[in-house]
Amino acid sequence: MQIVTSWMRQGIQQGELKMILRLLNRRIDEVNPQLQERIQTLSTNELETLGEALLDFTTTADLEAWFEAR
């Protein structure tokens, strides 16, 4: 049985957040600070869902629409 502590979960979430932001910046150019703040409030599960969805994004409007739909 693997024990995952809260600081390990936080580290995993921070890693996912960093990767999502890097992918979004590459996919749709610079993500504005307001959207970055919204992304930073997402849970680990929501970050994973966003990671899958961003493969279909081509513009910032796609990211904004994703937030509106959730």
Look-up: residue for tokens 């904004």? 64
- pLDDT reported for residue 12: 86
Distance, in Å, from the CA atom of 19 to the CA atom of 36, rounded to the nearest integer, reads: 12
- Asked whether 39 and 21 are in contact (CB, 8 A), the reply is yes
Read off the pLDDT band of 8 (50, 70, 90).
confident
Burial class for 68, CB neighbours closer than 10 Å (0-12, 13-18, 19+): exposed
pLDDT digits (tens, 9 = 90+) for 43-58: 999 999 999 999 999 9
What value, to the nearest 5°, has the Cα angle with vertex 69 and ends 65 and 70?
120
What is the reported pLDDT for 51? 96
